[in-house]
Amino acid sequence: MKAELADYILCLSESASNTRNANDRPLYLSYLADAAVLLALLVRGANVEDVKGRIKDHERLLGQTFLAGPEHKAVDAAWERFKGYV
Protein backbone atom coordinates (compact mmCIF):
# COMPACT_ATOMS: atom_id res chain seq x y z
CA MET A 1 0.00 0.00 0.00
CA LYS A 2 2.86 2.40 0.81
CA ALA A 3 4.46 1.74 -2.57
CA GLU A 4 1.20 2.54 -4.39
CA LEU A 5 0.82 5.76 -2.44
CA ALA A 6 4.43 6.64 -3.21
CA ASP A 7 3.71 6.03 -6.90
CA TYR A 8 0.71 8.35 -6.66
CA ILE A 9 2.84 11.05 -5.03
CA LEU A 10 5.51 10.73 -7.70
CA CYS A 11 2.83 10.93 -10.39
CA LEU A 12 1.49 14.10 -8.78
CA SER A 13 4.97 15.60 -8.71
CA GLU A 14 5.66 14.73 -12.33
CA SER A 15 2.28 16.05 -13.45
CA ALA A 16 2.83 19.29 -11.55
CA SER A 17 6.15 19.72 -13.32
CA ASN A 18 4.78 18.89 -16.76
CA THR A 19 1.42 20.64 -16.79
CA ARG A 20 1.05 23.54 -19.17
CA ASN A 21 -1.96 24.81 -17.28
CA ALA A 22 -0.80 27.35 -14.71
CA ASN A 23 -4.08 27.05 -12.78
CA ASP A 24 -3.39 23.36 -12.15
CA ARG A 25 -0.05 23.89 -10.39
CA PRO A 26 -1.43 25.13 -7.05
CA LEU A 27 -3.91 22.25 -7.03
CA TYR A 28 -1.12 19.74 -7.56
CA LEU A 29 0.74 21.28 -4.64
CA SER A 30 -2.35 20.92 -2.45
CA TYR A 31 -2.73 17.29 -3.50
CA LEU A 32 0.96 16.64 -2.80
CA ALA A 33 0.78 18.16 0.67
CA ASP A 34 -2.32 16.17 1.55
CA ALA A 35 -0.90 12.92 0.15
CA ALA A 36 2.30 13.46 2.17
CA VAL A 37 0.28 13.45 5.40
CA LEU A 38 -1.42 10.25 4.29
CA LEU A 39 1.96 8.65 3.58
CA ALA A 40 3.25 9.77 6.98
CA LEU A 41 0.27 8.10 8.65
CA LEU A 42 1.01 4.85 6.84
CA VAL A 43 4.72 4.97 7.63
CA ARG A 44 3.98 5.65 11.30
CA GLY A 45 1.54 2.75 11.46
CA ALA A 46 -1.60 4.75 12.16
CA ASN A 47 -4.76 2.78 12.81
CA VAL A 48 -6.93 1.83 9.88
CA GLU A 49 -9.74 4.23 10.76
CA ASP A 50 -7.37 7.22 10.77
CA VAL A 51 -6.01 6.21 7.38
CA LYS A 52 -9.49 5.69 5.94
CA GLY A 53 -10.55 9.08 7.29
CA ARG A 54 -7.59 10.74 5.63
CA ILE A 55 -8.36 8.95 2.37
CA LYS A 56 -11.92 10.27 2.58
CA ASP A 57 -10.55 13.79 3.12
CA HIS A 58 -8.29 13.42 0.09
CA GLU A 59 -11.21 12.19 -1.99
CA ARG A 60 -13.17 15.28 -0.93
CA LEU A 61 -10.26 17.52 -1.99
CA LEU A 62 -10.11 15.79 -5.37
CA GLY A 63 -13.87 16.10 -5.78
CA GLN A 64 -13.99 19.80 -4.94
CA THR A 65 -11.33 20.81 -7.44
CA PHE A 66 -10.85 20.39 -11.17
CA LEU A 67 -7.66 19.86 -13.13
CA ALA A 68 -7.86 21.14 -16.69
CA GLY A 69 -4.71 19.61 -18.17
CA PRO A 70 -4.52 16.08 -19.59
CA GLU A 71 -1.95 15.05 -16.96
CA HIS A 72 -4.78 14.41 -14.52
CA LYS A 73 -5.61 11.11 -16.22
CA ALA A 74 -2.37 9.52 -14.98
CA VAL A 75 -2.96 11.00 -11.52
CA ASP A 76 -6.50 9.62 -11.41
CA ALA A 77 -5.27 6.18 -12.43
CA ALA A 78 -2.52 6.20 -9.79
CA TRP A 79 -5.01 7.21 -7.08
CA GLU A 80 -7.40 4.43 -8.07
CA ARG A 81 -4.54 1.89 -7.94
CA PHE A 82 -3.71 3.05 -4.43
CA LYS A 83 -7.34 2.87 -3.31
CA GLY A 84 -7.49 -0.69 -4.62
CA TYR A 85 -5.06 -1.67 -1.83
CA VAL A 86 -7.04 -0.08 1.00
**The pLDDT of residue 23:** 94
CA distance 14 to 6: 12
What share of the chain in percent tops pLDDT 70?
100
> Residues 59-79: pLDDT tens digits?
999 999 999 989 999 999 999
Q: Where are the domains of the chain?
A: 2-83
Claim: this prediction has a pTM higher than 0.85: yes
Residue 43 CB burial class (10 angstroms; 0-12, 13-18, ≥19): exposed
**The pLDDT of residue 37:** 96
